[in-house]
Amino acid sequence: MNSSRTGVRLLALAAVAGLMSAPARAEDFKTEPGFVRLDDGKSLEGWTGNLQGWSIQDGAIHLDVKKARGNIYWKATHSRDCVIRLQFRATRGADSGVFIHGNQLQVRDYPNAGPKEYAAPARPAGRWNDLEFDITGGVAVVRLNGAVIEKAWRIGNNPRQGIGLQREVGNFDFRYLRIKEKK
């Protein structure tokens, strides 16, 4: 077999694998049993705060850092015993955050913006990353792309402030935000 055919076949396999890794459209995403999806991929309905500079692009909540004036928060709160899952995509060097009951976990282009401990499981700038907070008694095990990056991350002490997304440095996208309360 010649090398150009092998290269074309490998490229085709890589394209198929990329298509299978995540739904192409927000409405194609299937929420896991017991989870409630917070974003709808079409609007910012349910989000509060200064929405200027936040929009929906390609089914994701998009932060245009030059236009945004503040953080946004989901309208409802949650308990201290739940699982929160989402995907994020950072531009090169970007730095944002996810708030839970007022405490913030820095969400970044980890390979370029650090911390170095989070860089290994992180995907490069421009690629989607999976983030999970498995919270029990107000303490979360945090996973990035399936790898534990925090074993005992404490959520905040403000139960009236649920999940928030931060405006800081660089453009960001968030999608498939979902939550499951533990019984």
CA angle, residues 49, 52, 56, in degrees to nearest 5: 95
Q: Phi and psi (nearest 5°) for 41? A: 75, 5
CA pair distance 100, 71, nearest whole angstrom: 13
Nearest alpha-carbon partner for 31 in 171, 144, 177, 138: 177
Domains belonging to the chain, first-starting first, are 29-181 (2.60.120.560)
Would you state the pLDDT for residue 26? 60
Residues of the chain falling short of pLDDT 50: 1, 3-4, 6-21
Q: Tokens standing for 168?
A: 């800081």
Q: Tell me if residue 28 falls in helix, strand or coil.
A: helix
**How big, in percent rounded to 5, are the helix, strand and coil portions of the chain?**
15, 40, 45
Would you state the pLDDT for residue 27? 65
Cα 83 to the chain's mean position, in Å?
13
